[in-house]
Structures are given as structure tokens and as C-alpha cells.
Structure 1
Amino acid sequence: MGKSELLLSLSLLGLVTAHPVQAVESALTRQVRQVQPAQSTNLSEAVRETNGRVSGAVIRETAPPRLQELEQPATTVEEWLAQSIVQVTGVQLNSADDGLEIILETSGNLAPVTPTVVGNALIADIPDAVLALPDADDYQAANPAAGIALVSATNLPNNRVRVAITGTEVPPTAAIRTDAEAFVLSVTPGTATADTADDAIQVIVTGEQEEGYNPSEATTGTRIEAPLRDLPLAIQVIPEQVIEDQRVVRFNELANTVPGVEPQIGYGGISSTGFLIRGFSTEFESFRDGFRDFGFISPRDVANVERVEFLRGPASVLYGGGFSFSGAVNTVTKRPLPEPRYQVEGIVGSYDFYRSTLDFTGPLNDDATVLYRLNVAYENADSFRDFNRNESILVAPVISWDSNTGTRLTVGLEYQDYKYAYDRGLPPIEASFDVPISRTIIEPDFNDAEFDSVRLFYDFEHEFSDQWRIRNGLNVLSVQGGIEEVSLGNFDTILEPDGRTLTRSSNRTDESQFNIAMQTELIGEFQTGSIEHNLLFGVELARYRFAYDFFSAPIDPIDFFDPDYGIEPGEFEPNFNEEYGSDNVGIYLQDLIYLTPNLILLAGGRFDWSDTIYRDRNTNTINNEQSETNFAPRLGLVYQPTDTTSLYFNWSNSFNPEVFSRSRTGEAFEPQRGEQFEVGIKQDITDDLSTTLALYHLSRQNVLTTDPEDANFSVQTGEQVSRGVEFDVTGEILPGWNIIASYAYTDAFVSEDNSIPEGDRLVGVPRNSASLWTTYEIQSGSLEGLGFGLGLVYVDEREALLPNTGLTLPSYFRTDASIFYRRDRYRFAINIKNLFDTEYYNSQGYFIVPGAPLTILGSVAVEF
């Protein structure tokens, strides 16, 4: 079948749809905002100088024609050839005496069109054409001539190409001529007048943009959209492309590419949302779309993840009390898109790993004011660990509504059912490094866990004017489930005198959590003289509740070196039943101040009222209630000596009044506090490649660590300190060649304590760690779309327990690799993790958890 016949068949089946419209196309069809004219001829400077002041004006395309109004498709190859679509194979920009000449290289004649004006942009929509550039999906050129801020070419639905020429202050004019091999626009910049200057607009690109490996903005550090180079914070964004290229299927794998961050193994060996950041644990607490998320007993799927933002440094100033002493990890979930897109993916891998996902999005009505997105994932897998398996399903629908008058509402739900084998790993003894990594002390018929997680949320936003808007959001999380497990019976003397036998106990639990939080934020932009302000004022109300009933039973010991499985536990009796939680009110204020174009101040603080409660469910009595007030300030300064260099400093505080648990002997804990000083430099090597170097000193007081006598409880030490250096490089070196590289030196230790020796290193923290992930994709020729990936991870040796007892997790060097092929709407990939079958270990509380050996995953994705 010829190419024309194939395209005809696919079009008749409805399988050929347009790619999502990106960049300036997204702005022109979804959001055009009014601002004062920028004085700079550089587009990025103009956007910063105007500071993103916006109106609510939205310009949309007309509704699509009805079916009976459409021209009937060709039914023969001859008719199709007569109606063939012209390909735009290249875009050239040439200087002219009176402006600019834009040449579209084509495979045939294009029809002449009449341009239209949208604000300060001249738009030419060319019918019966498709953009088919050899090395990109679209074309953009910033500041190509005086008076011209941006030239772009993008694909539109129904075989159309849009050329947009945006004037710096006013729209340009253009004359069009065509011939057999080119479509030429002779562009003359417009001349500003007093009237037109007042009406000039700035086009702001919104929606889903692809910035590759090096996104330029993030919201986690400030809760507002701001360029990363303008923030005195160390933030790294892991975008969807990296998640796809690395074939991340477990959330904690994301730690591999972020300096100073190590993964934490969750409840019973699951992939948790917890990390070690700059030496300190986040205690399985993270954030999801800006709300606190607790993924300790239930994991989080990556199927509906748009990107993950890692803030390294205290986050209490915006997120309140919690375990964000050393950083915050915020997951930004996928939102609906205005252009239809449907993607299905299947993954098959080692150890009977099977996973399938779908991602559907598009409009629900003709004028695209109501959009939807649906993410679904199903996974079923065994493991390299004996008697270990998991099964998971995620369903995550989202609907958004845009009034076209500055009011927007998004409502969503996430449901996940996760079944897995509760396996905490190996006991903390040297012998664990001598047995096979598949060895376990659990029983094959008594190691089940299942949790159902439901998240409901909405996000409402209204723009009062060009400079002021209000946002209100609600997040509700409910988790229900329980476990059956076999664990160690003696945490003091693990092995019996014979050196082989492990005493064990068995447990059964019923557990639940219910968390609800509401945030209301006022965001405004204004000037005091020549100083520009980006103000954020917010109020958060939150309630967190956790409850569990534990039942215990005796079970026979096991020979650790020659286990005999199949032993049943004895009779279960109640052990301890508890409920704990907190009610919180937080008020926060932040101002991002442009003192001069190259001197930026970030100042803010948060005041919290917290009431914590601990209740014994056996006796239905409240054993502890505490009320705390806390203030967390932050100050930061950025100086930019050049357009590509940012020098920064920050000082920040953190606190955690919500110490839900109690000590093994029943005492309440004091609030925890932290303080950090940090200096750094951010350098844009090119437009697509940047680097960050940070030096910090971070201290924590009243720290909770695992009780060495009972891993189910914690102890509170005096002070711990972490200080170190972090370096990362992210972005595109050359077209098609992407990289993320990082190095961290972390000196994390006990600095003051009554029982733990001063100088003891903190658990699980390597002194040195480094990583590299790089991919190259061939950009042209017969092998276009073929790509290769290489990953290297080095982790220094780490202490396994605190106080340190001489048990050390060995250092390791792991290699990952991939080969992939992208063509049209298809992507094929093979990812090899731990290529050389390196043996390595992590820690989970009191236990040692082996890392996965050589693992191969094959995937196929289709977009239609």
C-alpha cells in the first residue's frame, strides 16, 4: 500500500488526528493577556519586565463545522492525490531592508491566505498543509528582527499550519506570495502610537509545554509561577520526558537523578513518597499538587504524573509544620488539554512484570470550555524476592471548566487499589550480606497487604484584573486497609546462640487515614515606584487523622540460612490500638521583589496554630493533647551579574509540631525545629542547558529517629547537622542529546545528644553520591527517531543503624541503559536496569532491603 493510500485509510478510520498544539498556538487559542508594552527587544526580558501581568481575555477558534458541512473525503487514490496535503519541510528567516522575510519550504503549492491580527500578533492559518520539519515538531525564533518578538510555526487540527508573527509592541504587517516550492511572507514591523501602545498585549504561553529535560519554571518553592533563575532556592524538576525515558515505574526511582536525595523504602517494602533530602528523612511525607500527601502505607502510581519538583531546603514557610525540614517533593498531576489526544502503553518485563496504561484527554464541548483527562493504570508483577508480588489499579479522571472570563474550575479524583506482599527485608546483621538477595523471613501464606486510596480535589481560580487573582483548593485523602506480616521477634538479640536461628512474631493490622485540607490564596502583582512585587497571601485549614489496630501472635523461629517455610501463626490478641492527628491553621505571606532588573529579594513567613491529639483506642482515652504556635521565616537574595548567571543566598526556618507518635515508654515528644543557610550559583550554559551549585548548612533539633530497641517506635535526640555541596547539570547539550548529571557531598551527623555518640553519621546517608542519565536521539536520516540512553549511579557506603554499631551498607555503582525508537505516533523502548547485576542495599527503619538485580522492561506506546 502506498503512502497516500495508507493516509487515506487511516483518515477514513478516524485514526489520523493532529498533534497537540503547543507553545504560541496554546497561547493564541487559550489565553491572551493584556499588559503594558515591554521596553526590551528581548522576549524573555520583556516577559520578566512586564512581570506576566494578565487580563482574563481569551481568544478561541470558532466551533468546528457540522458533519454535513464537511467536504466529502476522497474515495480513490486519484482523488486523494488531487487533494494531497502539502508538507512544510523547512522554515527560513532572511533579513530585509524593511523588516523580515519568512520562507516556508514546501512540497507543493500552498493556497494564499489573508492574515488576521490578534493583539500584537499577525496570524496566518494555512489550509491543506502539515508541518514536517526534519528535527522538530514546531518552529520558534525569538527576536529575529527589530520590532519582532517571536516567529512561530505550528500544526493545527484538520491539516492546517499556523504562522504567528508577534510584534514587540504592535502587530506587524505582511505581504504574501507563493510558488511551487515556497510560501513567502514579507513582514514589516508595525509602528507604535500612543493609542496602540495603550492597547498592546503580551502573549503568555500557557498549558502543557515541552521544555525537554530543563524546565525553566516551577511552583513548589514559591507557590507562584516564577523563573527558576530568579529564585534563591535549589529546585530540580523531573519532567514527564525523563520519567518516560528512564521508564520509571516506582516513585522512589526519581531520586536517582537529584543530588543530595536518596530513596526511602516504604511500609513493608513498597515504593514510598518519602526521601532522604540533605541527610534528613521526609518521613514518607510529600506533596501532591501543593497539598500534603502521606504515602507511607499506600504508594503513588506515576501514570498521572506530569512532573515532580524537588525543593532542597526547608519548606515550612509555605507548607507549614511537618517533616519538610530539609526539603519538599511536590508531584504535579496531569491536567486536561484542549486538543484531543489518546495514548495507550503496554510494558512487559522481568519477574513476570506486566503493566498497561491509558491517557485520554480533549474537549467535551464544541467551544472547548469543558475539558477532560482520564489516566488508568493496571499492574501485576512478581519479584526477585521470595513470595513477593503486587497488583495495582489506578483510575484518575479530571474535568476542567473555563468560563472565558477569567474563572476556571478543575475537579478530579484518584482511586488506587494496591495489593502486595508485606516484606520488610533482611535483619540488620552481617549475615544478611551472605544470603541470597531473594531470602526472606516472611511466610508465603501470611504476608498479604492491601490498601484502597481515594483522593478528591478541586481547584478554583478567578482573575479580578490583569494583576490580581484568587485561588481556592480542596484536597481530601482517605486510605483504608491492613496487613498480615511476619517480622523479627527480638530486636535486641536477633540471632539465637546457635548463630542461625531467628526468633519471629506475626502481626495483623487494620489501618486508616483521613486527611482534608483547604487553601485560599490571593496572588497579586504591583509596583511601588520602580520596584515590582509578586505578592502571595494564603490561608490553609487542615485536619490529619491516622488510626491503626495491631494484633500480635506467636510464630515459630526460622533457620536464617536454611529456612523451612509453611508455619502457621498462633492465636492473635490485641496489642496496641491508637489514633493520632492534628488540626492546623496556617497563614502565610510572601513577596518576590524585583528591586532592580538584576537584584531580586524573596521574603516570607508563615504562622501556624496546631492542635495535636493522641488517643488510646483500647480505652478510648486521650493520652496527650498539645497546642502549639510556630513561626517560620525565610529570606533570600538573587543577584544576576549577567543574563545567564544568578548568585543567590537564603536563610530559612522549619518546624514540626505535629509529632503524632509517642516514645516506647509513652512520653510525648517536643516540637522539632530546623534552620538552614545556603549560598549558590545558577548558570545557563546555553538556552537549553543549565547548572546549579549549592553549599548549605542545615541543623535540626529534637529529631526523631528509629528506636534501636523496637523498630515500631522512635527516640528523640538533641541536635543533628547536615552540611554539604550539591551540583547538577540538566538540559540539552546538542539537538537530540539530553543530560541530567549530579554530584552531592553530604556530611550528616549527630552533633549533640545524651545517649548517641557525637559524630555518628545519620542512617542511610552516603557521604558521596553521583549520577548521570543521558540520551541521544538521531535527528534525521533513515534512522531518525532511534535513540539510546545510559544511566550511572554511584552511592557511597552508609550506616545501617543509629547509634552506629559497625554495620555498614556497602557502596555500589549501578549502570542502566535503554534503546528506543520514536516514529510518528509510536514509541518502542527497551530499558535495562542494573545492567551488570550489581548487588546493593538500602535501609528501611530497622531492616536492610536488597536492591533489584538485572531487570529488563520492554514497552510499546501508541498515540492516536
Structure 2
Amino acid sequence: MLYRFFLRLAAASAIFIFVVPAQAQTDTVSSSVQKRQSDSSIPRLSNLNQPATTVDEWMSQIAQTSVVQITGVRLNATAAGLEIVLETVAGLAIPETYVVDNALIADIPNAVVIPPSGFQQANPAEGIASVSVTNLPNNFVRVAITGFDAPPIADVRTEAQGLVLSVAVEEPEDDVIEIVVTGEQDTGYYVPNTSTATRTDTPLRDIPQSIQVVPNEVIRDRGIVELRDALENVAGVQQQGTRGTGQGGDTFTVRGSGFFTETFRDGIRYNLISPTETSDIERIEVLKGPASVLFGRGEPGGIINLIPKQPLDTPYYAASFTAGSFSTYQGQLDISGPLNTSRTLKYRLNVFYENYGSFRDFVNGERLAISPSVTWDISPNTSLNFNAKFIPIQRETIDNGLPVIGDRPADLPRDRFLDEPFTEQTLDAFSLGYTLEHRFNQNWSVRHASQFVRQTDTRLITAFDALDETTGELAREGRFIDGDYQRFQTNTDLIGEFTTGSIQHRLLFGIEYYSGFEDPSYQSVPYPSINIFNPVYTRQRFALEPDFFRDDHYSGVGIYLQDQIDLLPNLKLLAGLRFDSAYQFASEQDAGQPRNDFEQTDSAWTPRVGIVYQPIEPLSLYASYTRSFNPTFPSFRNADGTPFEPETGRQFEVGLKADLSDQLSLTLAAFDLRKQNVVTADPNDSLFSIQVGEQTSRGIELSLDGEILPSWNITASYAYLDAFVSEDNTLPVGNRLANIPYNQLSLWTTYSIENGDFEGLGFGLGLFYVGDRVGDIDDTFRLPSYFRTDAALFYRRDNWQMQLNVQNLFDVEYFTSANYGSRTGGVNVGAPFTVQGTISVQF
């Protein structure tokens, strides 16, 4: 099928070049300085500058915000050291300089570097380790000049060609030290900007919707490698189980709505059938609430967007090895750098391998993931990135957990395994894609991206069935699933910034096309039962003879328009609208029987509108309204044979976002979310269903992320969530939704010693509380609440690090979720006291 992919790439590229421009949204490059001093340009609660209140003041502010392009950076050697020339077409303000460690910093207001990737050069002169010029949020440019053992000094002046910094070094050193490059430094737990909520690089406090970010530093400090573990730090996200047994792999619910929350990779749909590892991920962004206005069909709870690591301008090499409990071993490699002397061609390669056991009897697995990426800066305004991910090895024992007795999970040893040792999932997957970005001028840009994903999956399962709670005899069913899953998606975004009078606009216009194919086959056969109190495994594989076949095709087109409007400097409006047309064709066949074909086309308009008011600069008050739609599967029909309407969602949300300091932010949100057109049983004919159901989620979420004090980081969240059946034919109204607790709390914090005899020593503490949950929507059993404590100890020195992570420090017994929200699906058991050690090195 590769030839089809490349044909689609060629067609999409032709559309991009000749018909529809696409958006070249560039990620803000983070600063190369790890610890920042207080700066008046960075909003804080102590900065109480009031917004303009007169026309003259507004006009003055608008005039002051004219952005100057830095079109080139030139380094000239001098007798004293170095001269840095920032070439511009207009004058730049002379910035104040300040020192952080061995770096001299100058933050230039009302400026932008072209290209957006900035400029970096290592060892430009004797005594100077590196020079970087990078974009910051809110039209600031940071010049960072790093010395070896002492900060340089500089004289700043303006000349005809631009801004000139004459740099000298007071105490040059001969030994060269390695400088952590821009984009790969430890930036801490504070992430001020995101692109997921708007498809543009926007400050979090300017977005009228809740979004929580898990940066790579949290993933590293917790010593985790899977998406499911990283999402424990996000308020309102719950696991739904089905690890390896369901067609969606790991499944999550956001804000209690929907069973299967969509996962994206850099804004393109990316759902793996197996658990998702995070070795090549820079950060995870969770947008809460309906997201159809930008991402099309999906559950109303939200989306999960994985932001991958990008190629770097400067050589970077990192490797790590981990060994842990239950014979678990991991190795990671992350290398990047330029491929030519002009640094216009750069690469990145991430390799991850894991061979792991489990506290559960017979359970083990192995996986290998390889993620290459190459970026070509064709010109200062144009870049092209090719990326891929290959998963040639993904094998894991399928484990359905423990059964239910009475109204609780069965009281059995937590290592008790009730499947068969041969039950297993194997997956072979790869993705290929590219992103083309071009900036026409200071105000208009285009971004075009395409991706093809293919997965081949095989699963052998011994599924739980009825349990005799007196004798402990558990009926089981042998299942075989084998399938090929393919998906192609391409989208084009055009972004423009302009003004209408005193009102500023950032306009986004986008087009998306996707298509996919699936051909799974299934088999279900009787299989010998097992006694849960005294298990005896048959170890007999059943003959693989699929007896049910599916052949599914789907495609869709989405067109969307969004405007981010600054009505006043402290009043911002976000409005968007999308139209989707979705086509599905499903063909089903029982062995020896004729095929049954089902065809369905759905369309929907999905709006979003929100407003942000900032009474003072670091505080935002917001409100928003959003909608979603999600087509039903075409073989699900009304009694008269007509297809069901798409499920819909709508949400009202209000909240506040506050920058408590330049490195610490808080978000508080309250919401009312409703999922409508839910399929329920037909009271007049039990063989059919009708669409009259509604499920409601109401709640409050609080998150705190960033640096409390130098070297003290924190990410904390709390969610109160009331998720229940609000309309139904058969279920009692008010029944809670499965796996959703009323209360959920997480905290992870680290502290490191930065000087003295114990410099480099650090500690981490994690607290995770999940309240009691109903196991199924009929409320026949419950999962008890739990409080888990994690801890970490690490030592970082120069370019190497040793780290010890402990999960479940006090060895509490707990259950994470009920599979499928079903009494017979099995309950997943939480891991006991677990320890792992990691040694890593970076060059």
C-alpha cells in the first residue's frame, strides 16, 4: 500500500502548491537559559499596569507594538572578542541586559527572528561557548551569549544595519564545555504557550478553554514511558482499561464523557491499537471539552495531542538504560544535529527498546520503536520536515485482570492470572508523514501536513464470561482477532494577522481530508473454564478459523474558520465554525453467508465561541461554548433500517487562568458537558435501539504547574466530576458513569540542590488519589478509592545522571479500572511496590 501513500502525498502537495496555501505555524523556540531572573516584560501578579482607557492611549500602545523583523544574524570576530549584528529593516529598541549563571541575556521587545527556528552557534570565539537568538512569546527576541566559566560583557548600540552587540570576555577559559542547545534544555514544568487549542501558537491564558500540558520534564522525572502513566497528572482524565484487548488499545475518558478519547500526533489523528509509549514526545497537551471545531469527529470530552521532538541545530546525543522490578529493562537513544555546515539540514533519531515482566503471573512483553525525523530549511521563510515512526516489535501478554464477586472485585492475590499463558497481542505499525511550512511575510503563513499510518494486529484472547461466585468457576471464551488498519490524513492551514481599525485579528482557515480502510476478522469459540481460587491452565491453543469478517472504508472532509480577535488589549474573543462531511461503508459477513453492506453519510456544523477578559495582565477570566459530533457505526440501525444520527456534545465552561509568577500558572475551570443522541434500548422491541439517551458531566477542575521557587517544580491537579445518566429508557436516571470518580487528585513535585557539597542531588514526591467508582453503568459493583505515593531520588552532574524511581511506596492494593465498564470484562489491578533505576548520559 506504500505506493498509494506516495501518490496521495504527491496529490496533496499539488493541491498545496497550486490551490490552497497551508499554514506555517512555527513553534516558539524556548529559551536557552534554565533559570530566569525577574523581568518586567513577563507578566506577574505584582505587575498591576492597567489597560488603556482612552483612544489616545490605545493608539499609542498600538504604535508601540509594531513588530520589527530580524532578517539576519552576523558574527564578526574582534580583538576584544565578538561583534553580533542583528540585521533589520527598521530600528530596534536598545534592550537592557542581565546575567543568569554564565549567560548574558538581552530581551528585545517588538521583534521577531526570521526564520522562526532562530539562530544558534557554538564556540563562535575564544571564551564564548555559544550564541543564540530565539523567539519568545508576545513578540520578544532573546539574545543569549554564554561564556565558559564567566558571563561575557557587552556594549549595545544601534547602527544603520541594525542592532550591534560588542561582546568581550573577562575570564576566557581554554577548556570547551558542552552547552545544552535551545529546545532541549530543562525548561521546567511551566509551559506558557500551546498550539493544540487554536492551531496557532497562543499563550494559555489567552485561550477560553481548559488545556493542560504534561512536559517532557515531568515524564522524565517520574521515570515513565507510557501515555497512560503520564495522564495521571491531568485533572479529569480516567483510564477505561482494555489494554491490548480492545480495538482502541489504551482507552481514556476526559471529563467523564465518552469511552474512547481520540489521540493525535502533532494535530493529526493517531490512534494505536496498542499502548502508546512516549520516548519521542516533547510534551502532551490535553484539550478539555468538545474539539470538533478544529479536529472533526470525536467524543465531547476532549482530545489528547502528542507533540513530538524536533530536529535541533546543534549536535545533541543522549542515551539511557533502565532496570527495574519484575525483570524490566529499557534502553533509549536520542540523537540530533545538523547534516551540513550551513545547518539548514538537520535530523533527529529516537530509538526505544523495552523488555518487561509484570507482577502478574505469566505477563510479559517486548517492544521496539524507531522515530526518525529530518528538517530542511529551504529558505529563511520555508521549511520541510519528513517524519516517521516504526514499531516493528510490539508483543504483550493479554491480561483481563480479576473478576467480580458481589459488589467488589474478587478477593484474590493481585498476581493471580486467569487467562491462558499463550494469550497475546502482536502489532506491527508504522507512520510516514511530512510538514511543509512557509511564511509569505510578517503577517501571513501557511502550513501543510500529511500522514499515513498502517497497523497489522493479531490478538489471541481468553475472555471472561459468567462466574459462579460460590464455586469460583469462571466460564471463558476463546477469541481471535486479526486485522489490517490503514489511515491517511492531510490538512492545510492558512494563518493571517491583520487589523480592522484598532481591532487585531489572527485568522485561521483550514481544510482537512482523511480516508481509511480496515479489514478485521474475528473468531469466538468455547474454551474451558478456570477456577479462580485454584487455577489450572489448559495451555491448549484453539484452531484459528475466523468466522466473522468486516471490510470497512471511511473518508471525510472538514472546512474550518477561526478568528482570534483582540477587541481591546485586555478583551479577547475567539470564534470558530467547522463543517464536516463523513462517509462510511461497512461490509459484514458470517462465514458461509452472504455479505451485509451498510452505507452512511453524515454532516454537521460545529461552532465554538469564547471570550477572555484580563482585568490585570497576569489574570484571565474566560467563558466559552463548544459543540462536537461523532458519527455512529453504520451497521448500528434503527428498527426501520435507517442509520442513527451522529452523537452530539455541547459544553458551557467558565474559568480563570493566572500567572502567579513568570514560571508558575494556575487554572480553575467549571463546566457543564452533555452528550446527546446516545443509543438506548427500544422499550417496544428489545432487539433494537433508539436514540433518546443523554449523559451529563458537571464539574470543577484545578491545576497548578511550574516552578514555585528556584529548583522547586510542581504539577498538581484536582477534579470534582459528577458524571451521570440524565436521560434513558432503561437505565435509572442519575446512575453514575463507569470508572468515573467524584474526586481525583494528583501531585508531583521535585526539588534539586543547585550548589554546595550536594549540588545536583534531587528528590521527587508523587501523591495520587482516586475516589471510588462504579464499575458498570448498571451500578452492580464498585471499585474502591485509593491513595498511592510515588517517590524519586536523582543525582545530576555535568552531562550524566543517576535516577531511582519508586511507584507505590507503601504497597497499597488498588484497582485502576474496569474493562469496558462491564461486570464480566475484568478489573485491572494496580502495580505493587515497584522500583527502577536509570543511568543516562548527554553530550
Q: TM exceeds 0.5?
A: yes
Cα offset, 1:157, TM superposition: 3.5
Mark the runs of 5 or more structure 1 residues left unpaired by the alignment.
Answer: 1-20, 27-39, 65-109, 125-130, 145-151, 173-177, 198-204, 708-712
**Distance between the aligned counterparts of 2:150 and 2:558, measured in 1?**
63
- In the alignment, is the contact (CA less than 8 A) between 1:220 and 1:290 conserved in 2? yes
Could you tell me which residue of structure 2 aligns to residue 578 of structure 1? 550
**Distance between the aligned counterparts of 2:500 and 2:212, measured in 1?**
32
Distance 1:53 1:572, change over 3 A: same
Could you tell me which residue of structure 1 aligns to residue 513 of structure 2? 541
Could you tell me which residue of structure 2 aligns to residue 392 of structure 1? 367
Distance 1:836 1:633, change over 3 A: same
Distance 1:350 1:607, change over 3 A: same
Distance 1:372 1:123, change over 3 A: farther
TM-score, L = length of structure 1: 0.79
Letter in 2 for 1:652: T
Letter in 2 for 1:840: Y
**Distance between the aligned counterparts of 1:704 and 1:822, measured in 2?**
55
| Corresponding residue to 1:657 among 614, 617, 631 | 631
Per-residue displacement from partner, 1:4-34 (whole Å, max 9, x unpaired)?
A: xxxxxxxxxxxxxxxxx985679xxxxxxxx
**Distance between the aligned counterparts of 1:377 and 1:196, measured in 2?**
46
Letter in 2 for 1:421: T
Task: Check if 1:160 corresponds to 2:128.
Answer: yes
Task: Check if 1:214 corresponds to 2:182.
Answer: no
Q: In structure 2, the residue corresponding to 1:684 is in which secondary structure?
A: strand
Letter in 1 for 2:631: P
Distance 1:706 1:810, change over 3 A: farther
Distance 1:242 1:401, change over 3 A: same
Distance 1:305 1:714, change over 3 A: farther
Could you tell me which residue of structure 2 aligns to residue 825 of structure 1? 799
Deviates more, 1:425-434 or 1:546-555: 425-434
In our comparison, the structure showing a higher alpha carbon Rg is: 1
Q: In structure 1, the residue corresponding to 2:251 is in which secondary structure?
A: strand
- In the alignment, is the contact (CA less than 8 A) between 2:658 and 2:666 conserved in 1? yes
Per-residue displacement from partner, 1:499-540 (whole Å, max 9, x unpaired)?
A: 311111111121121110000111111111111111100000
Could you tell me which residue of structure 2 aligns to residue 115 of structure 1? 83
Could you tell me which residue of structure 1 aligns to residue 832 of structure 2? 853
Could you tell me which residue of structure 2 aligns to residue 625 of structure 1? 599
**Distance between the aligned counterparts of 2:133 and 2:582, measured in 1?**
54
Cα offset, 1:620, TM superposition: 6.7
- In the alignment, is the contact (CA less than 8 A) between 2:257 and 2:675 conserved in 1? no
Distance 1:858 1:495, change over 3 A: same
Cα offset, 1:426, TM superposition: 2.1
Could you tell me which residue of structure 1 aligns to residue 563 of structure 2? 591
Cα offset, 1:424, TM superposition: 2.1
**Distance between the aligned counterparts of 2:699 and 2:66, measured in 1?**
36
Could you tell me which residue of structure 2 aligns to residue 739 of structure 1? 714
TM-score, L = length of structure 2: 0.81
Cα offset, 1:644, TM superposition: 1.0
- In the alignment, is the contact (CA less than 8 A) between 2:119 and 2:134 conserved in 1? no
Letter in 2 for 1:116: I
- In the alignment, is the contact (CA less than 8 A) between 2:390 and 2:431 conserved in 1? yes
| Corresponding residue to 2:453 among 452, 477, 480 | 477
Could you tell me which residue of structure 1 aligns to residue 314 of structure 2? 339
Distance 1:169 1:559, change over 3 A: closer
| Corresponding residue to 1:814 among 769, 783, 788 | 788
Could you tell me which residue of structure 2 aligns to residue 276 of structure 1? 253
Report 1:340-419 matches (<5 A): 340-416=315-391, 417-419=393-395
| Corresponding residue to 1:487 among 459, 463, 484 | 463
Deviates more, 1:501-510 or 1:576-585: 576-585
Distance 1:592 1:137, change over 3 A: farther
Could you tell me which residue of structure 2 aligns to residue 236 of structure 1? 212
**Distance between the aligned counterparts of 2:331 and 2:141, measured in 1?**
48
Letter in 1 for 2:801: R
Cα offset, 1:61, TM superposition: 6.7
Report 1:687-698 matches (<5 A): 687-698=662-673
Cα offset, 1:828, TM superposition: 0.8
**Greater relative CO (CA pairs within 8 A, separation 6+):** 2
- In the alignment, is the contact (CA less than 8 A) between 1:553 and 1:573 conserved in 2? no
Per-residue displacement from partner, 1:805-859 (whole Å, max 9, x unpaired)?
A: 2x00000000000001111110110000111111111222132111111111110
Report 1:245-264 matches (<5 A): 245-264=221-240
**Distance between the aligned counterparts of 2:316 and 2:200, measured in 1?**
28
Could you tell me which residue of structure 2 aligns to residue 32 of structure 1? none
Cα offset, 1:750, TM superposition: 0.1
Could you tell me which residue of structure 1 aligns to residue 611 of structure 2? 637
Letter in 1 for 2:652: F
| Corresponding residue to 1:440 among 397, 411, 417 | 417
Q: Percent identity?
A: 39
Distance 1:572 1:405, change over 3 A: closer
Letter in 2 for 1:471: R
- In the alignment, is the contact (CA less than 8 A) between 1:55 and 1:465 conserved in 2? no
Task: Check if 1:601 corresponds to 2:576.
Answer: no
**Distance between the aligned counterparts of 2:528 and 2:547, measured in 1?**
19
Cα offset, 1:303, TM superposition: 0.8
Could you tell me which residue of structure 2 aligns to residue 67 of structure 1? none
Q: In structure 2, the residue corresponding to 1:801 is in which secondary structure?
A: coil
Cα offset, 1:421, TM superposition: 0.6
Could you tell me which residue of structure 2 aligns to residue 103 of structure 1? none
Cα offset, 1:300, TM superposition: 2.1
**Distance between the aligned counterparts of 1:367 and 1:388, measured in 2?**
50
Report 1:488-503 matches (<5 A): 488=464, 490=465, 494-496=466-468, 498-503=470-475
Q: In structure 1, the residue corresponding to 2:81 is in which secondary structure?
A: coil
- In the alignment, is the contact (CA less than 8 A) between 2:735 and 2:779 conserved in 1? yes
- In the alignment, is the contact (CA less than 8 A) between 2:338 and 2:345 conserved in 1? yes
Aligned residues: 743
- In the alignment, is the contact (CA less than 8 A) between 2:374 and 2:386 conserved in 1? yes
**Distance between the aligned counterparts of 1:764 and 1:169, measured in 2?**
44
Task: Check if 1:768 corresponds to 2:743.
Answer: yes
Q: In structure 1, the residue corresponding to 2:220 is in which secondary structure?
A: helix
Cα offset, 1:763, TM superposition: 0.5
- In the alignment, is the contact (CA less than 8 A) between 1:140 and 1:153 conserved in 2? no
Could you tell me which residue of structure 1 aligns to residue 174 of structure 2? none
Per-residue displacement from partner, 1:184-226 (whole Å, max 9, x unpaired)?
A: 5455x659x9x989xxxxxxx9856753101100011000001
Distance 1:856 1:651, change over 3 A: same
Letter in 2 for 1:601: L
**Distance between the aligned counterparts of 1:460 and 1:164, measured in 2?**
24
Mark the runs of 5 or more structure 2 residues left unpaired by the alignment.
Answer: 1-27, 34-38, 44-48, 50-59, 110-117, 164-180, 683-687
**Distance between the aligned counterparts of 1:164 and 1:715, measured in 2?**
62
Task: Check if 1:290 corresponds to 2:267.
Answer: yes
Cα offset, 1:670, TM superposition: 3.0
**Distance between the aligned counterparts of 1:140 and 1:397, measured in 2?**
33
Cα offset, 1:442, TM superposition: 1.0
| Corresponding residue to 1:225 among 190, 193, 201 | 201
Distance 1:328 1:557, change over 3 A: same
Distance 1:552 1:715, change over 3 A: farther
Could you tell me which residue of structure 1 aligns to residue 57 of structure 2? none
Per-residue displacement from partner, 1:145-200 (whole Å, max 9, x unpaired)?
A: xxxxxxx999934662457899999999xxxxx9x99965455x659x9x989xxx
Letter in 2 for 1:519: N
- In the alignment, is the contact (CA less than 8 A) between 1:236 and 1:311 conserved in 2? yes
- In the alignment, is the contact (CA less than 8 A) between 2:726 and 2:734 conserved in 1? yes
Report 1:123-142 matches (<5 A): 138=103, 140=105
Q: In structure 2, the residue corresponding to 1:437 is in which secondary structure?
A: coil
Distance 1:349 1:374, change over 3 A: same
- In the alignment, is the contact (CA less than 8 A) between 2:349 and 2:373 conserved in 1? yes
